[in-house]
Structure 1
Amino acid sequence: MNGQVSLSSGFVNGDVSFWYRSSGVPSPGPRLDGDLQADVVIVGAGYTGLWTAYYLKQARPSLNVVVLEKDFAGFGASGRNGGWLTGDLAGSHQRYAATHGAEAARRLQREMYASIDEVIGVCEKEAIDADVVKGGVVNVARTPAQAARLRASVSAARAWGIEESDLRLVDPAERLRVAGAVAASWSPHCARVQPAKLVQGLARAVRELGVTVYERTPVTEIAPGRAVTPFGTVRARHVLRATEGFTSRLKGLRRQWLPMNSSLIVTEPLPASFWETVGWQGSELLGDMAHYYMYAQRTADDRIGFGGRGRPYLYGSRVDARGHTHERTVEALWKLLIDFFPAAASSSVAHAWSGVLGVPRDWCSTVHVDPATGLGWAGGYTGHGVTTANLAGRTLRDLVLGERTALTALPWVGRRVRAWEPEPLRWLGVHTMYRLYRMADHRERSMPGTSVLARVADLITGH
């Protein structure tokens, strides 16, 4: 690095993520060894795949459920995310309402809120110690333009059944003190979680229920009735795709969901005096209203995990191998962190990493099972997957079992979205979008309202 970042003596870049640092990166378990027959085969052992397996076996213990994973359970976004168990909708209220009506969008929002407590309840039931604390979330505005967007978003939320008790404006220093904050909001619907502990605990729970998880078993093709790997084919009535940001690696699905990169850094543990100085006494999550936004948590061992966009997209929908992050991204995140919290400048960066999340063309998540072919999927969580994956798992359970429930009537079920454009159009579009967002954030330092550049960026990619 160029010396602008204070790195700890044990600094690590990549190696999947910091969340595995205390336990060590898991050694992958047994791989598939020959052809198999099952009732349900799930491709991907992240949150979506594991939650689906968990709820299926809870509902029908006799089902033969097999999970196939290319590396180890939790290798992807489930073991690399920012640890936000958030009630924010994985998509746009307006877009769901446009196809299914406003009340359907409100029901989806209520289910998202309820899913937070569902995850917490399962952690308690299954003795999954994932450092979960439901401390809510604070979003700050640091410019007049951001403050205007914040106030407008809180006002608009009322139309979607989000009451004062769900989301409200607060004094910028009420819960934690961010340098330069001029406005803030707070919602109780968010919990901190240690992502790797959650996914590893969930993997243990599904194995104990009798689900077979084959690791080191990449799936090369999905078709009705089968999932094909180099080591054998698993045949099943239902084949469910739970590959989120890695979907582009499957045959014929390169343009289905855009693999968007997000990066994080985590500091060394900070002293009690720091937390007192900034007023961060609870386990609130922290976000902001910038277009090129950030997200942060106070970890269980008193570090700051601080994330944002680095290199947002790799040409050809490529994905990284083990989370290595570009030096400029580490520098940018560190600079922003100490801009938010100048008192953290005496600390240093212990770890940096990246992961990919799935983004559909309309930025709205989907869940679906085709009763004719038995093929199904869930994903495209646009960065809200920790909570949404749980709702997806319960919904896939009902769809696979052929049950008509309140979950199968939600507006994201069966949603069809057109594919992303071929290269180089999608690379140009995404990079232009984020360049415009960065420029808009810079211009808004001296503007009362949202820059037209941000509106142009939204139009380019349908954000």
Structure 2
Amino acid sequence: MTAPLSPDFVNGEVSFWYRSIGVPEPGGPLDGNLEADVAIVGAGYTGLWTAYYLKKAQPSLRIAVLEKEFAGFGASGRNGGWLTGALAGSPERYAKTHGADAVRRLQRAMFAAIDEVIKVAAAEGIDADIVKGGELTVARSAAQAARLHESLAAQRRWGWTEEDVRLLSTGELDSRIRVNGAVAATWTPHCARIQPAKLVRGLAEAVRRLGVEIYERTPVTEIAPGRAVTPRGTVRAGYVLRCTEGFTARIPGYRRAWLPLNSSMIVTEPLPDDVWAEIGWDGQELLGDMAHYYIYAQRTADGRIAFGGRGKPYLYGSRIDARGHTPAWTIGALWELLTAFFPAVARFRVDHAWSGVLGVPRDWCSTVHVDRATGLGWAGGYTGHGVTTSNLAGRTLCDLVLGRETELTGLPWVGRRVRAWEPEPLRWLGVHSMYRLYRLADARESAGLARTSVLAKIADLITGH
């Protein structure tokens, strides 16, 4: 399907989120060797939250943040704007090593992190279009509805109460949002809409106000105990923290650590009042579904629909299209899905399309770690749930660096070790096979299959999803 494009259509250029605030010119780079207490590689959410909490806790710390492009260039400035409490990983896998109670503590910490981000944004004067309207998950086929009920039952087993998530009647769903073909839905209050670029740029300004130097246009070519090496000089520090998420594979020695998985988005033109009257969505909830090839969407502050999903999921050799250019067929596929959800949107056009990468560990579970013997640390592998998780990770890295034993340092993702991804061409074959099978499974289920397609189960087995 070919999507209709507006006269002002933009493809890439980082993301739509920068159209209202402008794509920033990178700041000053590192100029020679530097001594610091903590060197942070990457000026996205994780690196900036870590710097923020470290400097707040110990103002005398010398902290240097190193960034190849500009603060917020990666996933932090391109994501779907979901400040969600969803766990970045499998509760069953975390429980295998730490038990069910530890997983429940991690989940509650995620819920609390949403309010922590909102609180800091208010305290620092960051206007990021934040609305805590919760999250709606819809099912549009019998098989999706079955999975929705299975997911709800699993959440109950992991301690989610009726106050945390509940099933909506068809009438309740329609009173919130009218999704074409929806047969079942759940709602959780643990989610807020944000404008991602406004949040990350505001956070960068807050970090700078605290006295932290952010060196932009400064790519890191080597991470080793006690140093971060760049073409412009070496930063020597007691702690070197890798906070590079989907761009981790670009650092020598880390190509197979986390898979850079592509996700793409489109955004409509501003929609008129009569369309919103037909759709609803007055509560600004975030919207997802139970398809295998799932979508994520928000109603933006300026009255558009931002709609995302998987495009070309993975580039051979863990390559990255840094500027966010999105193929026409991906734009068309997202438009087809968007107009299937909301037929009233079909007479409008796409105003912007972009792509970004998220970090995926081999077991699809996030990790936070600091080795006090070497001073090396990292956090990430958020599998698409990084907006909230990065805040929790930044606070956890802070406690680990400062040697504190806290509730955060006892969470089950701390110190978690994950094996590397397979070498090529197995990585490429595995990921593309997985998503090909998911697309086929969705097609079969949409055609009337009342249970989860066996093809989706095979896809899960291939990559350990």
Partner of 1:55: 53
Instruction: Quote how far apart the aligned CAs of 1:281 are.
Output: 1.1
Q: Distance in 1 between matches of 2:238 and 2:289?
A: 45
Instruction: Quote how far apart the aligned CAs of 1:159 are.
Output: 1.2
| Secondary structure of residue in 2 paired with 1:275 | helix
1:6-51 Cα offsets, whole Å, 9 max, x none, are 1100000000000000111000000001000000000000000000
**Stretch moving more, 68-77 or 167-176:** 167-176
| Secondary structure of residue in 2 paired with 1:5 | coil
Matched, 1:154 2:155: no
| Secondary structure of residue in 2 paired with 1:235 | strand
Matched, 1:458 2:456: no
| Secondary structure of residue in 1 paired with 2:151 | helix
Q: Distance in 1 between matches of 2:18 and 2:232?
A: 28
* 1:126-141 matched pairs, under 5 angstroms: 126-141=124-139
| Secondary structure of residue in 2 paired with 1:297 | strand
Partner of 1:335: 336
Partner of 1:366: 367
Match of 1:10 among 8, 11, 19: 8
Partner of 2:216: 215
* 1:55-454 matched pairs, under 5 angstroms: 55-172=53-170, 173-445=174-446, 446-454=448-456
Match of 2:27 among 6, 10, 29: 29
Partner AA of 2:456 in structure 1: A
Q: Distance in 2 between matches of 1:159 and 1:423?
A: 38
| Secondary structure of residue in 2 paired with 1:264 | strand
Q: Distance in 1 between matches of 2:278 and 2:22?
A: 33
Q: Distance in 2 between matches of 1:159 and 1:218?
A: 45
Q: Distance in 2 between matches of 1:53 and 1:247?
A: 19
Instruction: Quote how far apart the aligned CAs of 1:274 are.
Output: 1.1
Q: Distance in 1 between matches of 2:328 and 2:176?
A: 32
1:201-245 Cα offsets, whole Å, 9 max, x none, are 000000000000000000000000000000000000000000000
Partner AA of 1:255 in structure 2: R
1:435-458 Cα offsets, whole Å, 9 max, x none, are 000000011121111000000000
| Secondary structure of residue in 1 paired with 2:113 | helix
Q: Distance in 1 between matches of 2:436 and 2:426?
A: 15
Partner AA of 1:223 in structure 2: A
| Secondary structure of residue in 2 paired with 1:10 | strand
Instruction: Quote how far apart the aligned CAs of 1:5 are.
Output: 1.2
Report the TM-score, using the length of structure 1 for normalisation.
0.99
Q: What's the C-alpha RMSD, in Å, of the aligned pairs?
A: 0.7
Instruction: Quote how far apart the aligned CAs of 1:282 are.
Output: 1.6
1:125-154 Cα offsets, whole Å, 9 max, x none, are 000000000000100000000000001111
Q: Distance in 1 between matches of 2:415 and 2:299?
A: 37
Q: Distance in 1 between matches of 2:219 and 2:70?
A: 10
Runs of 4+ more than 6 Å apart: none
Partner AA of 2:463 in structure 1: T
| Secondary structure of residue in 1 paired with 2:391 | helix
| Secondary structure of residue in 1 paired with 2:176 | coil
Instruction: Quote how far apart the aligned CAs of 1:171 are.
Output: 2.1
Q: Distance in 2 between matches of 1:175 and 1:139?
A: 12
Gapped runs of 5+ residues in structure 1?
Answer: none
Instruction: Quote how far apart the aligned CAs of 1:56 are.
Output: 0.1
Q: Distance in 1 between matches of 2:269 and 2:281?
A: 16
Instruction: Quote how far apart the aligned CAs of 1:158 are.
Output: 0.9
Q: Distance in 1 between matches of 2:322 and 2:241?
A: 23
Instruction: Quote how far apart the aligned CAs of 1:107 are.
Output: 0.4
Q: 1:397 to 1:198 in 2, by over 3 A?
A: same
**Stretch moving more, 318-327 or 388-397:** 318-327
| Secondary structure of residue in 2 paired with 1:439 | helix
Q: Distance in 2 between matches of 1:422 and 1:373?
A: 27
| Secondary structure of residue in 2 paired with 1:426 | helix
Q: Distance in 2 between matches of 1:67 and 1:171?
A: 48
Instruction: Quote how far apart the aligned CAs of 1:161 are.
Output: 1.0
Aligned length: 461
Instruction: Quote how far apart the aligned CAs of 1:392 are.
Output: 0.3
1:281-322 Cα offsets, whole Å, 9 max, x none, are 121000000000000000000000000000000000001121
1:73-112 Cα offsets, whole Å, 9 max, x none, are 0000000000000000000111101110000000000000
1:230-269 Cα offsets, whole Å, 9 max, x none, are 0000000000000000000001100000000000000010
Partner AA of 1:430 in structure 2: V
Q: Distance in 1 between matches of 2:183 and 2:21?
A: 40
Partner AA of 1:6 in structure 2: P
Instruction: Quote how far apart the aligned CAs of 1:174 are.
Output: 3.7
Partner AA of 1:53 in structure 2: A
